[in-house]
């Protein structure tokens, strides 16, 4: 995960770590290298610039040049700032409702259906939760079948109504079904298009308004870099979602989406997907991710 970024940041900071005589010049050079590494990882220019400005300010404020181990201190400053940029503390999901309704949104192929299954399994393993999956894609029958397959894999019931073309009605019926059957969590998988379009946004907004979910999650493929950030913005403008799910972090992603998304939409990344299997789900801890990136 983020091997290239890790390597570049390591190189940037290595200069300081290995240097006998730390000068203003090599601190400035290090900061420049850090910015270059972020840009290479597909972090947008403004965010990378603000980030390195903050690192510079901290370095000056903590008198890096006069400390015994300036290299170590710089690593700590970069790590802290990276943690802040990715969200600070880990944030859980709101399960206060009975049932708690979780609405999944995102483009087709982002990993919504897969993640719905993973989340159902994750919550089911908590013992106190009995989730129900609801299939609200009225355009692709195959998507409904896929959710049934996923539900079977994780041992969670799936509610669907294949002839019905009204996703709001299906979502409502799914919630009613959950109430009758003692399901205390309802995960609603919705249709996605290959690109953001007006009709799709209207549909998901209507579902959102009709069911007022406790938690609206936006699922995005980390491999799509800056596009992931732009799509997040478009969905957030319409849904004001509660959190982001970053999928496919097991792939060869450069890391830009993970680093930038929080500061663009001001919503936390809550979970990450790290594979196709149902147990490839992790709670997102910004500090742990920063540790991983900086080695
Ligand atoms: P949806 O259209 O948004 O419901 O997307 P799907 O759940 O069908 O996922 C699209 C493809 O991405 C499928 O082939 C999934 O197996 C794959 N996928 C989903 N999440 C991950 C992940 O975290 N890692 C990897 N490598 N593949 C994933």
Write the DSSP assignment of 191-249 as a string of letters.
---SS--HHHHHHHHHHHHHH--SEEEEEEEGGGTHHHHHHHHHHHHHH--SEEEEE-T
**240 CA distance to ligand 1 centroid (A)?**
24
| Structure confidence by residue, pLDDT tens digits, 64-78 | 777 777 788 888 999
Residue 190 labeled ligand binder = yes
**In contact, 77 and 40? CB cutoff 8 Å:** no
Distance CA 176, CA 288 (A): 39
Q: Is this complex scored with an ipTM above 0.95?
A: yes
Q: Is the CB of 110 under 6 A from ligand 1?
A: yes
Q: Is 189 annotated as a binding residue?
A: yes
pLDDT for 19 equals 64
What pLDDT shows up at residue 21? Answer: 66
Higher confidence at residue 173 or residue 59? 173
Residue nearest to atom 26 of ligand 1 (CA): 275
Tell me the pLDDT band of 172, cut-offs 50, 70 and 90: very high
For the chain, give the mean pLDDT.
92
**Which atom in ligand 1 lies closest to the alpha carbon of residue 143?**
4
Ligand 1: nearest atom to the Cα of 146: 8
Residue tagged 């994780």 (tokens) = 154
Q: What is the position in ligand 1's atom list of the atom closest to the CA of 251?
A: 26
Q: Does residue 15 carry a pLDDT above 90?
A: no
Contacts 24+ apart (CB under 8 A), 25-33: 27/59, 27/64, 27/65, 27/70, 27/74, 28/56, 30/74, 31/55, 31/56, 31/59, 33/8
- Average pLDDT of 145-169? 96
For residue 64, the model assigns a pLDDT of: 76
Query: Which of 107, 111, 244, 277 has most ligand 1 atoms within 8 Å of its beta carbon, as the pocket-test mutant?
Result: 111
| Spatial strand order in the sheet of 269-273 | 158-159, 131-136, 185-190, 100-106, 215-221, 243-247, 269-273, 281-283
pLDDT, tens digit (0-9, with 9 covering 90-100), for 214-268? 999 999 999 988 889 999 999 999 999 999 999 999 988 888 888 999 999 999 9
From ligand 1's centre to the CA of 108, what distance in Å? 9
């Amino acid at each position: 995960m983020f091997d290239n970024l890790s390597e570049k940041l390591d190189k940037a900071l290595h200069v300081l770590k290995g240097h006998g005589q730390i000068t203003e010049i090599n601190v400035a050079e290090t900061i420049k290298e850090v910015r270059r590494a972020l840009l290479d990882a597909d972090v947008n220019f403004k965010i990378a610039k603000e980030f390195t400005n903050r690192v510079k300010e901290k370095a000056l404020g903590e008198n890096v040049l006069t400390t015994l181990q300036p290299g170590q201190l710089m690593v700590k400053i970069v790590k802290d700032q990276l943690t802040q940029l990715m969200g600070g503390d880990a944030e859980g999901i709101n399960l206060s409702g009975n049932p708690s309704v979780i609405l999944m949104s995102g483009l087709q192929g982002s990993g919504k259906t897969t993640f719905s299954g993973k989340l159902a399994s994750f919550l089911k393993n908590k013992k106190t939760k009995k989730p129900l999956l609801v299939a609200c894609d009225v355009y692709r029958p195959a998507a409904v079948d896929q959710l049934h397959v996923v539900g079977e894999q994780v041992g969670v019931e799936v509610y669907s109504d294949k002839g019905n073309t009204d996703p709001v009605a299906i979502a409502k019926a799914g919630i009613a079904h959950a109430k009758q059957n003692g399901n205390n969590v309802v995960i609603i998988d919705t249709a996605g298009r290959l690109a953001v379009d007006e009709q799709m946004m209207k549909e998901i907004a209507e579902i959102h308004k009709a069911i007022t979910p406790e938690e609206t999650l936006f699922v995005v493929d980390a491999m799509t870099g800056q596009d992931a950030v732009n799509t997040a913005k478009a969905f957030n403008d319409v849904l004001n979602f509660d959190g982001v799910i970053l999928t496919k972090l097991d792939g060869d992603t450069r890391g830009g989406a993970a680093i930038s998304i929080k500061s663009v939409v001001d919503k936390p990344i809550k979970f990450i997907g790290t594979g196709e299997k149902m147990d490839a789900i992790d709670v997102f801890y910004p500090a742990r991710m920063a540790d991983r990136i900086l080695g």
